[in-house]
Structure 1
Amino acid sequence: MNIKKLSLAGLFVALAVSLSGFFIPVGAAKCFPIQHMVNVLSGVILGPVYGVGVAFATSLIRISMGTGSLLAFPGSMIGAMMCGVLYMKSRKMTHAFLGEVVGTGLFGALASYPVAALLMGREVALFAFVIPFGVSSIAGSTISVLIIKALERTKVFQLIKM
């Protein structure tokens, strides 16, 4: 286990949890652009495995604190995985951005349907979460790309990249 990666993952979880009070209510879901920002940052800097771990830990803590819902699990974890894998394969920020947006905004939203219907007892349409998850993931991913571009200009990105 890489202590540097684990420490940075812990910082990403702390960042996402501490800023979890910032949300945008869109339709039936609370959308957290900070989670998507952290998904891209952790997926790009730490890779897909740690990115999914950060998303899982953040979702678990937020649910435990009452600031999140079960919908956080499929959305954030699928988005973090796709973002990390696409960036790892291409080394392009546009692919990381698209991985998060498509992973969370489409696949995560569709995976949230059975969670909402079966575990939360909500009657929702299959595509009910696509727009809110998509809006949130576009906003958060855009913020993360701007942060990474700024880090690249200051050479900090090369220091923290794993």
Structure 2
Amino acid sequence: MKEKNIRKLTIAGVLVAVAVVGSLFSIPVFGAKCSPVQHMVNVLGAVLLGPGYAVGMAFAAALIRNLLGLGSLLAFPGSMIGALLCGVAYRLCPKLPAAYAGEVFGTGILGGLASYPIAAVLMGNTKAALFTFVPSFLISTAVGAAISVLVLSALKRTHVFSSLEGALR
């Protein structure tokens, strides 16, 4: 039991580090700054470790990015809601497309909507409209989910995914 928890914490720590370092890279897409690595990490964490770990990882990555000046307060609702829905969707329907859909809907729609009050109240952005963040969040999370499809496909093809699942369950 203790060894399994150490493995989970180790993988979670590595994935948080990947998310923080990955936030240094962004791709401009239709005028939005697309930073997909966090969303890829959300899917990997939710699928391999479960929704609780995924939310904790999203919170830790957002906190570290904010402390380092690499992110904004909007990283909290977007990444955490996406990670939660991704993990819950995968737990209810243990198929990878359910995890991808949970991440995209959770971050892109719900996270984008939840960012409005944070931007308006805490960040003083009173010009933002309710749906301001949804398009850019959707682009970023869709690209991140697509990258996670490639990563998880490679892990499944090389049988690393099944050995990781066996070691962590």
> Do Structure 1 and Structure 2 share a fold, with TM-score over 0.5?
yes
Deviation of 1:95 after TM superposition, in Å, equals 0.6
Q: Give the aligned partner of residue 140 of structure 2.
A: 136
Determine helix, strand or coil for the equivalent of 1:69.
Answer: coil
Alignment gaps of 5+ in structure 2: none
Q: Is the contact made by 1:28 and 1:129 (CA closer than 8 Å) also made in structure 2?
A: no
Rounded to whole Å, the distance in 1 between the matches of 2:24 and 2:113 is 24
Structure 2 match to 1:18? 21
Paired residue type of 2:25: F
1:19 to partner: Cα distance? 1.5
Q: Deviations over 1:60-110 (max 9, x none)?
A: 000000000000000000000000110111111111000000000000000
- Identity of counterpart residues, as a percentage? 58
Deviations 1:108-147 (CA, angstroms, capped at 9, x unpaired) = 0000000000000012000001100000000000100111
Matches within 5 A, 1:1-162: 2-25=5-28, 30-122=33-125, 123-161=127-165, 162=168
Q: How far off its partner does 1:30 sit?
A: 4.2
Counterpart secondary structure, 2:136: helix
1:141 partner SS: helix
1:112 & 1:24 partners in 2: Cα distance? 21
Q: CA RMSD, aligned part only?
A: 1.5
SS of 2:56's partner is helix
In structure 1, list runs of 5 or more residues that go unmatched.
none
Q: TM-score, normalised by structure 1?
A: 0.95
Shift of residue 24, structure 1, vs aligned partner: 3.5
Q: Normalising to structure 2: TM-score of the pair?
A: 0.91
AA in 2 matched with 1:11:
V
Structure 1 or 2, whichever has the larger Rg, is 2
Q: Secondary structure at the match of 1:39?
A: helix
